[in-house]
């Protein structure tokens, strides 16, 4: 397949350099004037870019910059890359830590929101800084300075917390880490018996696909099971280069998923989204999440209504391959975690009977068995329902299984996850 077209600025670069991720990193557009030159800004716009650079970090790889159509001010790739003055304005509902990650951080670099898994923020660095980033409060180096001790402390927390069976390494972008350093972290995590799976969240295959080298893949495959979640937002980001990067990961045995952020002007259209999910499946990446854009400061211009996400899912479910349809989720403000939102397919119900509708509007009934007894095949009674360590009802699932008639809404301060975080912080 023909490689993607390059911007004339880099037309003469030798292929060995262009395809070397280190060259891409060292030639990224990182300062305001470089970026303003590339964007062909007027003097006034240049001043604006300079002003923005004081608040938010820039980095735009030559590869990703070449995907932008500079003649189109509404180019969906350019919108994700070029800073806009709206970023300096925060809407009243926007907050730095809008999804409450810090509240669930027992030690630096760990977010322990859910019972059996953690987010491990390995680095604040990215090879490209997305204008819509939900962690813009920390990416680009704003979180901490020297951090090897923090990484060790995070690994120790995981090792000392036996309920953690799943570690999601994200950031920042963990694949900006050099292979040897990444391997050091993976080896330590793999040595922890209760860590069953390791996942990566990365935008590298999209913005600097040459970083997915065969050496990186050979190293990663030593630590299976490893899953990789990519972050494609628009079909134009799927190029021969990004497809090859995903193929290298998939060939090395890593199941690939994708998370897309629903963004105004970028992908808030059923046609664009259908094309994206089809193109993803062609490169062996399964659409996993469609995220409602978070309430990160200065990102209102990217946000579309939740109803647009429902409309998109409605346009996909039944109209295309079932596993091409991502889960549409909203990450709740205040640390509530992700909640799935979907069109309603239940039209009505009565004891023993459901009325359902399909994607065409066709309705039919489902009759439930009238002789069903709720007996677990494992004969474990209610204990498998959900992690109710102290016998208290802690979730809707445990409410369904327990004899308790109600669950007291105690607020997030008193959830099990928050209690764990408090205990670690207090050293108990």
Nearer to ligand SF4, 41 or 263 (CB): 263
135 is annotated as an active-site residue: yes
| Annotated catalytic residue, options 104, 109, 117, 248 | 117
Contacts of 327 (CB under 8 A, 6+ apart): 288, 289, 290, 340, 342
Residues lying near ligand SF4 in the complex (CB under 6 A) are found at 126, 129-130, 133, 135, 139, 171-173, 203
251 is annotated as an active-site residue: no
Distance CA 180, CA 13 (A): 28
Nearer to ligand SF4, 83 or 172 (CB): 172
217 is annotated as an active-site residue: no
| Annotated catalytic residue, options 34, 46, 97, 114 | 114
Burial tier of 208 (Cβ tally within 10 Å: 0-12, 13-18, 19+): buried
Task: Indicate the length of the chain as a whole number.
Answer: 428
| Annotated catalytic residue, options 63, 294, 300, 308 | 294
370 is annotated as an active-site residue: no
Nearer to ligand SF4, 268 or 418 (CB): 268
Strand duo 110-114 + 117-121: pairing? antiparallel
Distance CA 158, CA 139 (A): 23
Asked if 359 and 380 touch (Cβ cutoff 8 Å), the reply is no
The first and second tokens of residue 125, run together, are 């660095």
| Annotated catalytic residue, options 41, 104, 133, 136 | 133
The first and second tokens of residue 96, run together, are 């730095």
The first and second tokens of residue 280, run together, are 């993803």
| Annotated catalytic residue, options 41, 126, 217, 246 | 126
Strand duo 353-357 + 337-340: pairing? unpaired
C-beta of 203: minimal distance to ligand SF4 in Å?
4
Nearer to ligand SF4, 78 or 172 (CB): 172
| Annotated catalytic residue, options 9, 108, 286, 338 | 338
Asked if 66 and 6 touch (Cβ cutoff 8 Å), the reply is yes
Nearer to ligand SF4, 266 or 316 (CB): 266
Count CA within 13 A, CB hemisphere, residue 167.
Answer: 31
C-beta of 28: minimal distance to ligand SF4 in Å?
13
* Radius of gyration of the chain measured on its C-alpha atoms: 23
Quick count: other Cβ atoms within 10 Å of Cβ 50? Answer: 15
Distance CA 326, CA 204 (A): 21
C-beta of 136: minimal distance to ligand SF4 in Å?
7
The first and second tokens of residue 377, run together, are 């095949």
133 is annotated as an active-site residue: yes
72 is annotated as an active-site residue: no
C-beta of 145: minimal distance to ligand SF4 in Å?
19
C-beta of 207: minimal distance to ligand SF4 in Å?
7
C-beta of 19: minimal distance to ligand SF4 in Å?
21
Nearer to ligand SF4, 133 or 192 (CB): 133
Nearer to ligand SF4, 246 or 418 (CB): 246
C-beta of 176: minimal distance to ligand SF4 in Å?
9
DSSP state of 200: E
Asked if 367 and 375 touch (Cβ cutoff 8 Å), the reply is no
**Catalytic residue IDs:** 113-114, 117, 126, 130, 133, 135, 294, 331, 338
């Amino acid at each position: 397949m023909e490689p993607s077209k390059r911007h004339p600025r880099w037309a003469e670069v030798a292929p060995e350099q262009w395809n070397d991720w280190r060259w891409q990193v060292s030639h990224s557009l990182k300062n305001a004037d470089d970026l303003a030159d590339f964007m062909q800004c007027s003097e006034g716009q240049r001043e604006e870019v300079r002003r923005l650079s004081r608040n938010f970090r820039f980095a735009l790889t030559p590869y990703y910059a070449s995907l932008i159509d500079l003649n189109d001010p509404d180019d969906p790739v350019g919108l994700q890359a070029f800073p806009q003055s709206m970023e300096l304005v925060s809407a009243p509902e926007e907050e730095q830590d809008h999804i409450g990650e810090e509240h669930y951080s027992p030690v630096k670099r760990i977010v322990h929101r859910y019972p059996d898994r953690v987010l491990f923020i390995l680095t604040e660095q990215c090879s490209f800084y997305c204008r819509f980033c939900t962690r813009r409060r920390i990416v680009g180096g704003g979180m901490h300075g020297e951090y090897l001790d923090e990484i060790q402390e995070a690994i120790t927390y995981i090792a000392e917390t036996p309920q953690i069976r799943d570690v999601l390494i994200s950031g920042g972008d963990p694949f900006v880490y050099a292979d040897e350093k990444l391997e050091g972290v993976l080896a330590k995590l793999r040595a922890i018996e209760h860590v069953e799976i390791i996942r990566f969240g990365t935008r590298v295959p999209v913005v600097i696909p040459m970083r997915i080298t065969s050496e990186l893949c050979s190293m990663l495959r030593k630590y299976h099971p490893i899953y990789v979640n990519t972050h494609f937002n628009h079909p134009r980001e799927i190029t021969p280069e990004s497809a090859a990067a995903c193929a290298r990961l998939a060939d090395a045995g890593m199941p690939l998923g994708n998370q897309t952020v629903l963004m105004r002007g970028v992908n808030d259209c059923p046609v664009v989204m259908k094309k994206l999910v089809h193109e993803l499946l062609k490169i062996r990446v399964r659409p996993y999440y469609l995220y409602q854009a978070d309430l990160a400061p200065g990102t209102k211009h990217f946000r579309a209504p939740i109803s647009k996400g429902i409309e998109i899912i409605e346009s996909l479910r039944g109209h295309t391959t079932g596993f091409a349809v991502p889960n549409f989720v909203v990450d709740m403000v205040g640390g509530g975690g992700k909640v799935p939102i979907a069109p309603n397919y239940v039209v009505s119900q009565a004891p023993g009977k459901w009325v359902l509708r399909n994607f065409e509007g066709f309705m039919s009934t489902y009759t439930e068995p009238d002789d069903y007894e709720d007996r677990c095949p494992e004969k474990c009674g209610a204990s498998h329902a959900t992690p109710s360590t102290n016998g208290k009802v802690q979730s809707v699932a445990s409410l369904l299984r327990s004899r308790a008639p109600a669950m007291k809404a105690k607020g997030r301060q008193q959830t099990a996850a928050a209690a764990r975080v408090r205990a670690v912080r207090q050293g108990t």
